[in-house]
A and B are shown apart, each in its own frame.
Chain A
Amino acid sequence: MRLPPIPTTLRIAALTMLLVLCSNLALLGFIHARTYDDRLSPLRRQVIADARALSDVQASGGEPELSGAIEDMLAADSSELTIGLFDRDGRLLAGNIKAAERKPADRKADFQILSVVLRDGRRGEAGVVVSNLKGGGWLESGRLLGEPLALQRTLERALMISLALSLLFGLVCAVILVHFVRRRVRAIGRAVDDFGHRDLDLRAPTNGSGDVFDTLAERINAMLDRIARLMAELRTLTDSLAHDLRSPVGRLQTKVEQALTVEDPDERNAVLASVMAEANTLTHMLTTVLEIGRYEALASREQFGWLDPAELLDELADLYSPVLDEAGIMLETARTGPLVPLFGHRQLLAQAISNLLENALNHGAIGGAVCLFAEQRGESQHIGVADRGPGIAPEQMDHALRRFGRLDESRSRPGMGLGLTLVQAIAHLHDGTLELTGNEPGLKAALRLPVKAHRALDSEIQRP
């Protein structure tokens, strides 16, 4: 049979109480062990020795001898000795103890601590040994505990009381703690509820302390960010599909219509070829939109592996150098610092850089030079393409990254305004960003990718 689950708050409360109790017990034990025995054991030895001496006297000379011996001992040193010889009715026969109501249980020969009242008015605790005598009387001999030991006893008693108090404090502490925990967790829970029901902009509160609740809230916020981003993505996707696919479909319709009316077979073939080209563009567009959606959803990381960024750039330079050459553009490659291996998707990174090169080829050809660069900058690696063309005005850079976001200057040229968006989606898939900056003149487009594992050795690079 399983126990019903214990609520976490109750566990925390119980644990807090237990810990407070334990710490007090430990303190008590420590004080006791550390000092009590040190001081008490010489006293105990002395008391036992005294008792033995007296009982020897009693054994050899009987009670009169014993009374004499007691008087002698007290005369010699009365500062701490407590001795009393009592008859069966508890009347003092000899010694300096005023009177004693000793219960039969206390009358044992072992060393023990009892409180005594002396005839000279002193009172206090003493370590004593009580020995029963024939005829029902008893002999009690001992020594007062003295200042330090008495203090010790007081301290111990105080600690015992504090032990009881500690249970109370533990309880209060637990209640407060549970209250705090519950308040923070409820706040997070409320934020999540509100996010779900009302507003995608709401986030769990954080106080910047970096504690577990803050971390939890931050994690949850990161998740909410991602959900919000995906929702926004979905919205833009459907919007853009609705708006931006209309024009190519429209062009397609026009061309098909045109093809139907053309009589001349050669001319009709030409129109049909352009229908085909239009259909190709449309297919390409759909594939790209789909890919952007997938990568933004961070859905395809199974193909990630270690790769050498330098090799990646070399391969792309190899692929593009003839085209750039033909277009009269000089291709430079620039690498700064030793490049650590990247953990990424070779195909997609290549596609991203290929898109950037295409962009440079289509929009920055006038500059006559394109630079394929890779830089190691602290925790991130910048890989990208810089051209010397007209560039993009700073206020238009955001627009250039938007899906189907074509800048007015380039409307007349082929393209569908998805290239940079795809590159950005690939950057996001790699936990990175796409940065567009001016190249004075021209455009510098860089994939800024975080360096994942510094310890990755070259030998770990898997080459596909």
Chain B
Amino acid sequence: MTWKILIVEDDADTARYIAQGLTQEGHVVDVVQDGRDGLFQASSGLFDLVILDRMMPGMDGLSALRALRASGVQTPVLVLSALATVDERISGLEAGADDYLVKPFYFSELMARAGVLMRRQRTAGEAVETRITVGDLEIDCLKRLVRRSSQTIDLQPREYKLLEFLARNEGRVVTRTMLIERVWDYHFDPGTNVVDVHISRLRRKIDAGFERPLLHTIRGAGYRLSAEA
């Protein structure tokens, strides 16, 4: 599936690096180099995603973002910035960003986050799914019940939240940082492999005893829940 993506970034090298990567993934990319142009382009509402730098000539990223949101444009915006502290991130999200990624970053992390935003964009108009199925795994979001092959799986509240997030992003790579942010609402890196251990516990509950595993580890990137290997 092809997305139309706007990159607003004044550093030519970074912009080229992201644009190249996204073009290779088959997306259409426009690049502008200052905040004012970025705001002008993004206001058209023709993009599926805006990747926005913060410190730029003309107009800084967050001001552009606020102006964009004030004018009613709901295009998903991923802020990409070297301003890394928790408070900077929170202020980015409060300005209307859908996600905040800190530079330096890995392209895989950017793609994973962009993927989640796109899914949200596509399903924005629809009602939230109350029933998710991944292969033979069924999740009843209202009763918080999980079954696999009609066998009920007993999950702790946090494990359920983890599974639901993975399931809502079925087939997409979800990184450790994203899980920490979305499932635990923490904006710091806990250091050790805390997320990995939670995942392996979840895996033991949903995959153990079944022939085909659903929860996959993607080396150097994160995790993916899908029926296909």
Contact = CB atoms under 8 A, between A and B. Distances in A.
A319 B87 contact: no
A351 B186 contact: yes
15 contacts: A279-B104, A287-B102, A294-B85, A300-B85, A300-B87, A315-B184, A319-B184, A320-B194, A322-B201, A347-B188, A354-B186, A354-B188, A358-B190, A358-B192, A362-B192
Contact of B158 (A294, A318, A351): A318
A351 B194 contact: no
Given A291-B85, A319-B190, A354-B190, 4 more contacts: A287-B85, A347-B186, A348-B86, A350-B186
Contacts of B158: 318
Contacts of B102: 287
B191 interface: yes
Contacts of A120: none
Interface in A335-355: 345, 347-348, 350-351, 354-355
A283 interface: yes
A22 B103 CA distance: 72
B188 A351 contact: yes
Contacts of B11: none
A284 B198 contact: no
B136 interface: no
A47 interface: no
Interface of A: 273, 279, 283-284, 287, 290-291, 294, 300, 302-303, 315, 318-320, 322-323, 326, 345, 347-348, 350-351, 354-355, 358, 361-362, 464
Report whether over half of chain A's contact residues are helix, strand or loop; otherwise say mixed: helix
B194 A323 contact: yes
A290 B86 contact: no
Contact of A303 (B87, B104, B198, B220): B87
Interface string B176-197: 0000000011111111111001
Interface string B45-81: 0000000000000000000000000000000000000
B84 interface: yes
Given A347-B90, A347-B187, A322 B85 contact: no
Contacts of A302: 87, 91
Nearest to B194: A323
B61 to A, nearest CB: 19
B192 to A, nearest CB: 6
Nearest to A322: B197
B199 to A, nearest CB: 10
A361 B192 contact: yes
A347 B86 contact: yes
B187 A323 contact: no
B189 A284 contact: yes
A348 B187 CA distance: 9
A345 B85 CA distance: 13
B81 to A, nearest CB: 12
Q: Closest 9 interchain pairs by CB?
A: A351-B188, A322-B197, A300-B87, A347-B86, A323-B197, A287-B84, A358-B191, A323-B194, A354-B190
